[in-house]
A and B are shown apart, each in its own frame.
Chain A
């Protein structure tokens, strides 16, 4: 089956600019997650969607980050304005739902560099 698709793979922007990332989960996966992985660290959950509703966004810096999942399928994560410390890989993951964690699959990520 197709995996979790993310684009772009790489993005370089200047601080204070805006950027958006796109994620297409595995077909039929109701739950979608965005993680931030700073170099040398483990992934940190930013936001979790169940269908098109937000389940958890407690670690999302809401003054500059926003995310949406229209129609319960694709999702976009936006940063506006970007800061140097936002440089990281942004990973999207999806799963069937809360009872099947083994189907939790990551995308290849978008590497963001803020200069």
Chain B
């Protein structure tokens, strides 16, 4: 099955700096890549997603890039704010979009 690896496991940045989280996947059939933000004790919430027919997608301060050849995708957060502090998970979904394989998570700490 699919294997998703995520790095780094923890990331600490100063408020206003950019943060980048990277994921790799193994199954070339994966064609949907969502990113989730999970605050402590809360449910994962979708923040951005990208499909395999697109190389980049942006939504205000958040962007995701996808390199299908290298099988990796990245989350970019610009102008970070303290409220961005959370655990971020990447995921990959092969074929029919149903089953999600998650990375191990990145704990982002934005220092004011």
Q: Which of B42, B45, B99 has the most CB of A within 10 A?
A: B99
B25, CB-defined interface residue at 8 Å: no
B73, CB-defined interface residue at 8 Å: no
Q: Give the interface size bracket for A toward B.
A: 20 to 34
In this complex, how many residues of chain B approach chain A with their Cβ under 8 Å: the count is: 24
Nearest to A107 among chain B residues (CB) is B43
| Distance, CA A44 to CA B1, complexed state (A) | 12
Determine if A104 and B46 form an interchain contact, defined as CB atoms under 8 angstroms apart: yes
Q: Using known A-B contacts A56-B99, A95-B98, A108-B43, determine if residue A41 contacts B105 with beta carbons closer than 8 Å.
A: yes
Q: Among A42, A48, A99, point to the contact of B89 (Cβ < 8 A).
A: A42
Contacts of B49 in A (CB 8 A): 101-102
Q: Using known A-B contacts A101-B49, A104-B34, determine if residue A43 contacts B99 with beta carbons closer than 8 Å.
A: no
Contacts of B105 in A (CB 8 A): 40-42
| A interface residue numbers (CB < 8 A to B) | 4, 31, 40-45, 48, 55-56, 91, 95, 98-102, 104, 106-109
